[in-house]
Amino acid sequence: MELKEKITGLIITFNEEKNIQEIIDNFSICDEIIVVDSFSSDQTVEIAKQNLKVKVIQHRFEDFTKQRNIALDAATNDWVLFLDGDERIPTDLQKEIIAELNKSDKKEAYYFYRKFYFAGKPIHFSGTQNDKNFRLFRRSKCRYVADKKVHETLIVKGTTGILKNKLLHYSFDNFEQFKKKMLYYGLLKGSELADKGKKYSIITHWSKVAFKFVKTYFLKLGFLDGFDGLKISYLQSLYVNETYRKLKNSK
């Protein structure tokens, strides 16, 4: 099926040499691809530049939201498909994207549900069962909220839809990689709270850490994922702990 709309593929990168070519291949329906790279020290940029449809912009990393909005501003098409380096579009989802964009009554933005993989194994619970993000949208109607350093939030002026087929999310290869990322995200979130004038409270700190574990492992059925569910629940609570540790030290 031929896509009637022109679309720009967007990705932000840092040291993604193992993923960059595959993710560029996933943008096969796009006539333009923008890579916003925060000065990778590996071969990410060199590999990306070997692809004719790719434009590389290097910008010092400040936070995820700023990098994403830089990518949006660089696109020449109104419709954009925004992917992370660890996400893949299966064939059925690509067909659904084309079919949706060929409709006359399109929405302004579309959520994609994601199928989460940890160390190559599918995770069915632990909060991942409801995981969805905006990945396809009109940039003239959408913008990432400027004051979010992590867990970026897209504001949509108009209607939204949800695609049925899931995006594959190969998030972490191993425990240590997952842990490193959660600690980093916690630092960014803590800085965000400090910038907003949030005051540190030891009661809030530890109650939120405990609740995050309980929520992920019990309320979100993490125990049904076995030992992987336990590890994910621990790391989610570690993220919250690092958030409030950073906030405490920002006083």
pLDDT, residue 171, reads: 87
Cβ-count burial of 98 within 10 angstroms (0-12 exposed, 13-18 middle, 19+ buried)?
middle
* 157-168 average pLDDT score: 98
Beta bridge partners of 8: 32, 80
Percent of residues, the chain, with pLDDT higher than 70: 100
* 139-167 average pLDDT score: 95
Are 119 and 174 a contacting pair, CB within 8 Å? yes
Output the pTM of the full model. 0.93
CA terminus-to-terminus distance, the chain = 57
pLDDT in tens, 112-137: 999 999 999 999 999 999 999 999 99
Q: Which residues contact 73 (CB under 8 A, 6 or more apart)?
A: none
Buried b (16+ CB within 10 A) or exposed e, 217-235: beebbbeebeebbbbbbbb
Q: Where do the DSSP E strands lie in 14-124?
A: 32-37, 54-58, 79-82, 87-88, 109-118, 121-122
Q: Which residues contact 25 (CB under 8 A, 6 or more apart)?
A: none
CA dihedral 108→147→10→58, nearest 10 degrees, is: 150
CA dihedral 125→127→128→134, nearest 10 degrees, is: 160
Instruction: In whole angstroms, give the CA distance from residue 237 to residue 208.
Output: 8
* 190-210 average pLDDT score: 96
Q: Count CB neighbours of 125 within 10 A.
A: 20
Q: Please, which pLDDT band fits residue 65 given cuts at 50, 70 and 90?
A: very high
pLDDT, residue 88, reads: 98
Domains of the chain: 7-172 (3.90.550.10), 175-249 (no CATH)
pLDDT in tens, 12-30: 999 999 999 999 999 999 9
pLDDT, residue 40, reads: 98
Mean of the per-residue pLDDT values for the chain?
Answer: 96
pLDDT, residue 11, reads: 98
* 179-194 average pLDDT score: 96
Q: How far is CA 6 from CA 81, 101, 171, 227, in A?
A: 11, 10, 29, 44
DSSP string, 158-211: S-EEEEEEEEEEEEESSHHHHHHHHHHHHHHHHHHHHHTTPPP-HHHHHHHHHH
Q: Among all chains, which residue has been given the structure tokens 């400040």?
A: 62
Whether residue 33 is predicted with pLDDT greater than 80 in this model: the reply is: yes
Whether residue 204 is predicted with pLDDT greater than 90 in this model: the reply is: yes
